[in-house]
């Protein structure tokens, strides 16, 4: 790692986030096909996520408000090199709108994507689980 790399080190309870970013010419990378969109970290509950948010804001980072993603809540921020990071909760969980044993057998969309369901379904390849075609694919 170059000596002039920016570094983000944020301790919290028994965990820490340590990200180092450096480029030879000081430019940020570009997001494109074949690159990583973001990296997600797990928070077991919303109080832990709120503590992370507090620590990150105190460290001078711009952090989104807590965003309800239906299956979990998320906060987003960028490390000094521009990589998008997410901290998401476990709750309420992916079985909020279907039984645990049915997970993955139906195309489930959050309410804000329902208006585009037909377009999404047309763009998906046929998906199978245990030999059964997943409803809404293919």
The 10s digit of each residue's pLDDT in 27-55 is: 666 667 777 788 999 999 999 999 999 99
Q: Check whether residue 87 and residue 41 sit in a common domain.
A: yes
Q: Which spans in the chain are helix H?
A: 46-58, 117-123
Same domain? 69 vs 19? yes
125 in the same domain as 107: yes
Query: Bigger pLDDT: 73 or 12?
Result: 73
Q: What is the model's pTM? A: 0.69
Q: Is 109 found in the same domain as 53? A: no
The answer on 102 and 76 residing in a single domain is no
pLDDT class of 113 with cuts at 50, 70, 90: very high
Same domain? For 7 and 73 the reply is yes
Higher-scoring residue by pLDDT: 61, 31: 61
Confidence class of residue 2 from pLDDT cuts 50, 70 and 90?
very low
Domain that holds residue 75: 1-23+36-95
Half-sphere exposure of 38 (CA within 13 A, CB side): 13
Residue 29 lies in a domain: no
Same domain, 87 and 138: no
Say whether pLDDT at 14 is over 80.
no
């Amino acid at each position: 790692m170059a000596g002039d790399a920016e570094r983000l080190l944020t301790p919290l309870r028994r965990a820490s986030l340590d990200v180092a970013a450096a480029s030879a010419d000081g430019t940020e990378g570009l997001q494109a096909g074949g690159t990583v969109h973001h990296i997600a970290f797990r928070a077991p509950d919303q109080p832990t996520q709120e503590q992370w948010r507090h620590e990150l804001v105190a460290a001078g980072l711009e952090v989104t408000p807590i965003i309800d993603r239906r299956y979990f809540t998320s906060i987003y921020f960028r490390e000094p090199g521009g990589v998008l990071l997410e901290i998401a909760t476990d709750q309420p969980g992916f079985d909020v709108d279907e039984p645990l044993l049915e997970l993955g057998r139906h195309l489930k969309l959050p309410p804000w994507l329902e208006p585009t369901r037909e377009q999404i379904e047309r763009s998906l390849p046929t998906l199978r689980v245990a030999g059964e075609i997943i409803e809404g694919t293919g």
